[in-house]
Structure 1
């Protein structure tokens, strides 16, 4: 009798998940286009999620503006847009599971308490209890975790010494990014997380949290960052001007080149739709660089809006 066939892998499903802290800049567009191209290359779905978990940093109307900008570039979600601000009960249920199992705990430490440890929490040192403790995931000493990134290669992190117990819910009651992203990637059936290399360092934490919650671990691909002339990440730079949604082709061609793709492939495209069709035909995933790329500022325009994401 033959052995049963192994289960078929889940269909490819990727996502782009901006925070509504301002308009999209070229670095945001690179992450959106890169994740969209990889999803289309695999014949899969591409979703958009609004990660609106940090009200003090959010700009009114930014989420709607981001979605309009994505639409101007021909990048629209294949399924309804998910908003993290509406999912508190789901995160609460996940946190309760971790607390009940002892993987998470209430922490009364302040930043000054942790200063002697370089800001890394390895044990609680608070002199007094707080009315609003944070909730942290317990990270045991010598917890070393590695994964293979499709673009950046092998990544290994000693979570015990480099990260320590990390926050799942902040003292102000806001949900931490690490918990929300893990819960939502699983809930949305995300099989491929394609995002900027600035989040590479967060991935081992997310994998550890997936294991603690019994959730599947997707594949990861971290795209190159766009940097200014001084080598700073674009979103931290004065060069991070918003992309021009009224004239999208220059920015589209710019991030296409930054993804390591042949410039001539989009040269004859006279519309966004034509450019995306040409991009799908010519896209070579193996050509995506892993090193930071210089930002082409000519593809942006000035504005009076708040700092971009």
Structure 2
């Protein structure tokens, strides 16, 4: 009969791969470094496999087999968590901790409306928040450190199930003295000759805005970019160019302190807001149950 690794041994292995340091991995597992090291050595003996390369480096170096075992360990720990989550979800849906990841172009503008609504509707739900870019949130979701993501679709993430929440139209923001400010709405073609300022690479809003307006990536900003929507607004206020802002951010106060003109696009352009969770998550029904609450929070900003 095959001797199976314990969940604790798998946690040690995954933590060591994620932290890249024995001391930090031990701290993440709330054990001493010697305990973690002994656990990994015991796992190697139990599996009769070399997981780590032995050498002068103090940093853990995984063998090819070790890297494959780390991936398998993540899957196994996720499956074990799903057993407990399934039981919890069946007993009391939308109670206990829920770890929500949200992108920076949504979180500050929607959460002030969404959080009170969720607290009122689900008082026993404990919401933990993490704000980051889509790719990093996806890594956290895959690793099981997040349960649910609130982002813009398509996300490009693999192994996830998604649910559309709402459309978030783009508005063109420009200085009040700009030549296009005299128009009630702008044709899409009017953007082609303008200096278009957008967020820097890595922010999905950049790609979604360009795709929605059918603009080539090379046209965006001509070397100018910002790290946040608030910075972008100040750049436009400084007459460096024009930009595209999601209506959600405008309703959430991103223009505070800046005098800009806002105009819709005649053809219409928007990004899609949605929720994402691990495919086959036992809590999928719960997450789908949150869609209406998020949609109402988006709509109340209008």
TM-score under structure 1 normalisation?
0.22
Larger Rg: 2
Structure with greater proportional strand content: 2
Structure with greater proportional helix content: 2
TM-score under structure 2 normalisation?
0.22
